[in-house]
Structure 1
Amino acid sequence: MEALGFLKLEVNGPMVTVALSVALLALLKWYSTSAFSRLEKLGLRHPKPSPFIGNLTFFRQGFWESQMELRKLYGPLCGL
């Protein structure tokens, strides 16, 4: 393709596939954690989420124990 001829870069199928895959993964990561940035804008403190699973790993030790730990770390009002 001559679309990027000024860069002397040849665009071929695998290169386009890799570039689109990287862009898709970046968008998926942003989408899976974007709701937590809304909590920060509202002033709600919260633990840092993992992409796609959020804070589910935080509750391995049980729901009530995790809630009490969140309350100690972030105060009576926090987001999940």
Structure 2
Amino acid sequence: MKRAHREKLQLCDALERIADALPSVDRLKCLGTANAIVPLLRDIHRYEETVIFPAYEEAVVGSNANLASTRRLRAEHVEDE
């Protein structure tokens, strides 16, 4: 989970650097960053859906916890991609 978070932060930093450089951006950095977004998000979403969400849902079985949050996050993954 820490690795996934670190990778998302690195992507955000790259996007911030591009935004800060506007309008004189390095087109190659833009292309590289753009090409990294979808694969990174897909990998992180897959990890969350196969590891994190099931672990959370198993941990709250029998409690009064509402599982709407994981359903919402799964829907957001579709929107993100």
Q: TM-score range by the shorter chain?
A: 0.3 to 0.5
Of Structure 1 and Structure 2, the greater helix share is in: 2
Larger of the two Rg values belongs to structure = 1
TM-score by length of 2: 0.37
TM-score by length of 1: 0.37
RCO greater where, 1 or 2, for CA within 8 Å and sep 6 or more?
Answer: 2
